[in-house]
Structure 1
Amino acid sequence: MIYIMNESFSDPFDLMEMNKNWDPIPFTRMLGETSKSGKMLSQGYGGGTANIEFEALTGLSMEPFSPTITTPFTQFLPKESDFISVVSRLKKDGHVATAIHPFDTSMYKRRDNYANLGFDDFYYNDTMKYTDKIENNPYISDESAYQEVLYRMEKTEGYDFVHLVTMQGHTPYDGKYTTTPSMEQTGFSKEGPNQYLQDLVYSDQAMEDFTQQLKKIEEPTVVVFWGDHWPNVFGESALLNNGEEVLHHTPVLIFSNQSSRSENLEKISPIYFFNEVLSLTNAKVTPFEAFLLELKEEIPAFEKGMYYEKEKGQYVQSREELNKEAQDILEEYDWIMYDRTVGDKDSVQKGFFDVNMK
């Protein structure tokens, strides 16, 4: 199993300003048509990477936290040991858990946090084998990051869970590449947006090569790929012209190297990613995962100020605007999260996060 959180990866076709005659991500778009795919509701815009990562790895949303908790990776996770997560769940099933982030370890205390989440190994810019960059981009390329994933999987025995957080698409954008798409191609005249769109071109090419290499692996492999948030390189006008909802949606794709099925995920929060993998593999679920299935039926995507009502096909701004069933299950979720983070952890002791094999 491979998680790929791609830095600032978005679908520029969502912007009304974008010229639709030129596509920077043709392969990723095609892959989405044959995979489970949809729009992830991102908690951040222009930042917030670690919070989206926290949600995807734990099944815990940022929404119920009090305003004083802005970044779990720096505020409470370093103080926790053996924090229950997707990582610890898969390790119980015999997976070797590897984290890869092609940057230094000071960002969001990832060295401590990855250990507390259960990762066996963590590879970063100073310990990775593949560290090539493209032209003037100061960050390790997606191509190198994907090669690192394949290399680390080959070095381990048995099944792997690899969690990759890329850096190629990170700000700043000006001056990264000597050749970028033109205004006639994109619809944007400024350098920043076109440099960013060239980042997407390279990301798309790297993904195409990566999927071809995955097909050569005999072991069944599932990939969850998503963009953490939109960049703010398009300026305030993009926010005004397109609306907040558009710029809080990024692509998510879930596919296999064996056979994938096409399914429209519509709108989805990162807390549900692992459940989607479980449904793809027909695996047993824990009581917590079963609860998330019920929660998703009521609210497929939510963050503070944005709650997606599936029946109405639109967002509302507060819990009070949701139907009673949705409000009730969110209250249950509050208690689960409280118990697991700052409470007595009764749910953990009673096996709420364990698979009952009977």
Structure 2
Amino acid sequence: MVVTPYSDFYADSKNHHTVLDFYDKNKIAIHPYTAHLYNRKTVYDAIGFDAFHYLNHGIRHTDKLGNHTRVSDEALNKDILDAANTDDVGLIHILSMQNHSPYNRNIPGMDYKPQINFEVYPKKMQKGLFNYLQGIHASDKAIADLVHALDQSDKEVNLLFYGDHFPSVFRGMEHQFKGDKLHQTPWFIYMNKDRSQKGIQLEGMSPAFFVPVLLKEGNYYVSPFQGLMDTLLTKGVKRIGNNYIVTKDGKLNDSEISKDLLAIVDDYRMVEYDALFGHNWLADDFYTKTIR
């Protein structure tokens, strides 16, 4: 049994204001795996999803990649596009499983043969990393195919792609990599209809800033809360901790931050604390507003 404080806390928390509230059309979650982990059914319902598709419940395409045990990204694309092509859908949240452990299965016949540096990675563990990297290569193609399909859509589509955790093939190898490199995952925002030509590059940024970046880049309505987040990002803040922040200059303790910036950072901390643990004083439209 997996026990995570987030799962138990968030289902009963007072404030569930998320980007879902920006949409008046249906919000759908798609996950080609079990729904039991992390209390997903309860949490997704609490935060406002209208439907949750998972294995044996809404997922229609379950082809695998080679001998892998997980549903492939190519198959997942079909379920994504099925949902995206309906008129009553506003937002789709997708969790891919293709490159999740275990990594003991391979892809026969794949031309791509990754080269592994055995001065960094143990040779005795090479099979798992080799299989994982081949899966990543296949994901690159699947993502490109998905972007091409979305580019043909008559709808205005925004795709926010990001990784949620590092693969277990690197577990215990933190000493081999400097800083937080091992725990940083890739992300990008794609907008069809030739929008967003700036090519935003923001490394080391907390996922908490994904939504304000998307709203600003798409020239969408920005609520006061998202305006606060944008102000922090504009001032170079990439992550916020209990008594520190992270900027391009690295980790800075509160005592090293200017008074003006610290005041804004503390505003964020106060708003978050009140929303999640306090009395939730702020009105709903401080956080979000339905725009479509």
Bin the TM-score by the shorter chain.
0.7 to 0.9
The 1-side partners of 2:266 and 2:278 are apart by: 15
Asked if structure 2 preserves the Cα contact closer than 8 Å seen for 1:304 and 1:318, the reply is no
Contact 2:238 2:246 in 1 (8 A): yes
Q: 1:130 aligns with which of 44, 61, 67?
A: 61
Root mean square deviation, CA, Å: 2.7
Percent identity for Structure 1 against Structure 2: 27
Q: Which residue number corresponds to residue 200 of structure 2?
A: 263
1:160 and 2:90 matched: yes
CA 81–308 in structure 1, closer or farther in 2 if over 3 Å, else same = closer
* Structure 2 residue 291 is the aligned partner of structure 1 residue 338: no
Question: Which residue of structure 1 lines up, in the alignment, with residue 239 of structure 2?
Answer: 302
Matched residues in 2 for 1:194 and 1:71: separation?
A: 34
Written as runs of structure 1 = structure 2, the 5 A alignment for 1:308-327 is 308-309=246-247, 313-316=248-251, 318-327=253-262
| CA–CA separation in structure 2 for the residues paired with 1:165 and 1:152 | 14
Structure 1 partner of 2:8: 75
Q: Secondary structure at the match of 2:67?
A: coil
**TM-score, normalised on structure 2?**
0.85
Alpha carbons of structure 1 residues 307 and 174: separation in structure 2 relative to 1, 3 Å = farther
Pairwise mapping of residues 17-96 of structure 1 onto structure 2 (< 5 A)? 71-72=5-6, 74-80=7-13, 83-90=16-23, 94-96=24-26
Counterpart contact for 2:18–2:288, Cα < 8 Å? no
Give the residue type in structure 2 aligned to 1:130: H
Partner of 1:151: 82
Pair 1:226 & 2:162 matched: yes
Deviations along 1:90-124, one digit per CA (max 9) or x if unpaired, are 2xxx3321111111111111111111111111100
Q: Which runs of 5+ in 1 are unaligned?
A: 1-68
Question: 72, 96, 103: which is aligned to 1:173?
Answer: 103
Distance 1:355 1:79 in 2: 22
Which residue does 2:39 correspond to in 1?
109
* Compared CA separation, residues 325 and 191, structure 1 to 2 (3 A): farther
| TM-score, normalised relative to structure 1 | 0.71
Cα distance between partner residues in 2 of 1:158 and 1:123? 16
Task: Note the residue ranges of structure 2 that are not aligned, 5 or more in a row.
Answer: none
Moved more, 145-154 or 77-86: 77-86
Q: For the structure 1 residues 242 and 139, does the alpha-carbon distance in structure 2 shift closer, same or farther, using more than 3 Å as the test?
A: same
- Give the paired residue count: 279
Identify the structure with bigger relative contact order (alpha carbons < 8 Å, sequence gap 6+).
Answer: 1
TM-superposed CA distance for 1:323, in Å, is 3.4
